[in-house]
Amino acid sequence: MKNVGWVSAFCVTHHLISKFWSIVAALVVPGLTAWLFSGGGTQALGGATKTPTFYKDVLPLLQQHCQNCHRPGEIAPMSLVTYDQVRPWARAIQKAVRLRKMPPWFADRRYGRFSNDPSLTPEQIETLSSWSEANAPAGDPNGAPPASHWTENWNIPSPDLVLRMPKPVTVPERGDVEYTYEIVPTGFSEDKWVQMCEIRPSQRQYVHHAVVYIRPPDSGWLRHAPSGVPFTASTLTNEQDRRDARRTDSDLLLVYAPGSSPDCWTNGMAKFVPRGSDLVFQMHYTTNGHPGTDQTSVGLAFAKEPPTQRVLTLQLTNSHFVIPPNADDYRVEVHGTLPNNATLLSFFPHMHLRGKRFEYTIVDPDRGVETLLRVNYDFYWQLSYRLDKPRFLKARTLLQAVAWYDNSPNNPHNPDPSKAVRWGDQTYEEMMVGFFDIAVPANLDKWRYFIRLSDKVE
C-alpha cells in the first residue's frame, strides 16, 4: 500500500481494522487446533503464538497509530521511528496503551463511530504489551514494513501551496497575550477549492489555538487593518474594525489546537476560497516564561476536480453563562435548527481549563434525544471527531450542544475554584463552542444556506 502520510492513513483506518480482523480470524483457528490436539495446554498455546518482534509486529502499529506525533518536528516529546528510539520506551508504551492514554482519544465509545479514531484494538494492545514483556526483541530487520514517507513537516500529502504569516509574532516572557491577527493575501486570480489543509505553527509551545478565516474580497471585515503584519484589536485605530475583530461571518478554513488533525475531505467535497480572498490568521498565544517568536503557516491541497459539495464550518455557541465557584458539574447548553438539508461530517468542541465533558445531540420531538458524540474533555487535547458515516440531516433538525464544567478543586487544571467564571478569551475564563462541519451543494454559500429555502418550498 502506498503510504502517503497520516491523514490518508487515518482516512483508511477502518478498512485496516476490518482487514486485521480477518487476519486474526485466520490465525486463531490453527492456534486453537494445536492446543486442542496437543493436550499440552498453555505450553502448546505459547508455542503457537509467537512472541511479537519490533520489525514485524510493532513497527507497523507505530507507523499507523503513533508516528504522526512521535517523529521529529511533531508534538510528542520523543520519536518512535527506529528500534533504538523505541526500545527504551517499551515499558512506558505498554503502560500508555493499556491505560488507553495513547494514542490520545476522548470520545466515549458508547456513542458514534469516527473515521479518525486512532485507538488500538485489544489485540494490538496485546501485541505491544507482550512485546514489551518479552524484553522488546528486535526480530529480523528484513521483515520490516517500508518506512513511512512523510512529506517533510506536513501530515497532509504534499501541499500545493503553503501560505505563511509574512511577519513573525513576538511572544513575551509572561502575561496574557491579546488575540493576534495577521492578514495574508492569497493572490488567487481564480476561485479555489481546498480539499485538504493543515495549520502548522513554527513554535507550537506558544500556540493555544489558531483559527484561519477566509475573507472574500467583498467582505468589509477588518478592512482598515494592515495586511501582512501582526496586530491586535486594541491597536486598531478604526473604531468599527476594533469592534468587529471578534465578530465575523467569514467562513472558517480550519481551526488548530494541540493534537488536532488536519482537514482531509473525501473526493467531491472541499472548502471554497473565492478569488481575491485573504486568509485571516487569528492566533491565541500563551506565554511560558521564555520569550520567543512564532510564524504559523497553512498548507493547502486543492481539489483535482470541481467538487459537488461545499464544506461549511458552523458553530453552536453559548456565551451567556456564569459557572459558580466550586461547582463540579455545571451544565451549559445551546441548540439550533438547521436552516436547510445538510450532511453532517465532523465535530470540534472547544472549552478552556474547566471543561469536563461535551456532547452533541439531535433532539427529535418523537424519538427523543440521540447522542452523536460525547467527549470526556481534556483541555490539552483538542481533537476533531469525524463521523465514520456522514449523516444526512433534514432542514429543521434540532442540533444541541451541551457542555459540563468542573470548577471544583478536584479539577487538576483549575486555576482558581473560588472564582465565578464567565465567557472570555483567556484560558482562566471559559468558552463553550461546538464547531461542526457540514456539506451542502457546492453552489450554496454560508449566507444562502442560512436562508430557509425549504420553508418557502413547502
* Residues that bind ligand HEC in the complex, under the rule CB under 6 A: 65-66, 68-70, 75-77, 89, 92-93, 96-97, 102-104, 118, 120, 259
Nearer to ligand HEC, 92 or 369 (CB): 92
Nearer to ligand HEC, 97 or 269 (CB): 97
Nearer to ligand HEC, 41 or 77 (CB): 77
Report in angstroms how near the CB of residue 89 gets to ligand HEC at its nearest: 5
Provide the grid cell at 318.
453559548
**What's phi and psi for 286, nearest 5 deg?**
-120, 145
CB 8 within 8 A of CB 261: no
Nearest to 180 by CA among 202, 210, 201, 157: 210
Provide the grid cell at 418.
473560588
Residues 233 and 215: their CA atoms lie apart, in Å, by 17
Report in angstroms how near the CB of residue 391 gets to ligand HEC at its nearest: 25
Nearer to ligand HEC, 118 or 349 (CB): 118
Report in angstroms how near the CB of residue 93 gets to ligand HEC at its nearest: 4
Nearer to ligand HEC, 89 or 321 (CB): 89
Nearer to ligand HEC, 206 or 423 (CB): 206
Sign of the torsion angle spanned by Cα atoms 214, 217, 221, 222: positive
Give me Rg for the CA atoms of the chain: 24
Nearer to ligand HEC, 5 or 259 (CB): 259
Residues 387 and 372: their CA atoms lie apart, in Å, by 9
CB 354 within 8 A of CB 323: yes
Report in angstroms how near the CB of residue 66 gets to ligand HEC at its nearest: 3
CB 262 within 8 A of CB 119: no
In angstroms, the Cα distances linking 293 to 18, 260, 280 are: 45, 21, 19
Report in angstroms how near the CB of residue 419 gets to ligand HEC at its nearest: 27
Report DSSP state, residue 56: I
Report in angstroms how near the CB of residue 325 gets to ligand HEC at its nearest: 29
Report DSSP state, residue 31: H
In terms of DSSP bridges, do strands 269-273 and 309-317 run parallel, antiparallel, or are they unpaired? Answer: parallel
Strand ordering across the sheet containing 180-185: 231-232, 180-185, 278-285, 207-215, 251-256
Report in angstroms how near the CB of residue 124 gets to ligand HEC at its nearest: 8
Report in angstroms how near the CB of residue 263 gets to ligand HEC at its nearest: 16
Residues 350 and 345: their CA atoms lie apart, in Å, by 17
Report in angstroms how near the CB of residue 350 gets to ligand HEC at its nearest: 17
Nearer to ligand HEC, 259 or 390 (CB): 259
- Cell 494490538 found at: 124
Nearer to ligand HEC, 106 or 179 (CB): 106
Residues 231 and 167: their CA atoms lie apart, in Å, by 11
Nearer to ligand HEC, 147 or 322 (CB): 147
Nearer to ligand HEC, 180 or 261 (CB): 261
Report in angstroms how near the CB of residue 376 gets to ligand HEC at its nearest: 15
Report in angstroms how near the CB of residue 292 gets to ligand HEC at its nearest: 19
Report in angstroms how near the CB of residue 156 gets to ligand HEC at its nearest: 15
Nearer to ligand HEC, 97 or 252 (CB): 97
Enumerate long-range contacts of 427-430, CB under 8 Å, 24 or more apart. Answer: 427/208, 427/286, 427/352, 427/353, 427/379, 428/352, 428/353, 429/352, 430/321, 430/323, 430/351, 430/352, 430/354, 430/355, 430/405
User: Left (φ > 0), alpha (ψ -120 to 50) or beta: where does 39 sit?
Assistant: left
Sign of the torsion angle spanned by Cα atoms 204, 206, 209, 213: negative
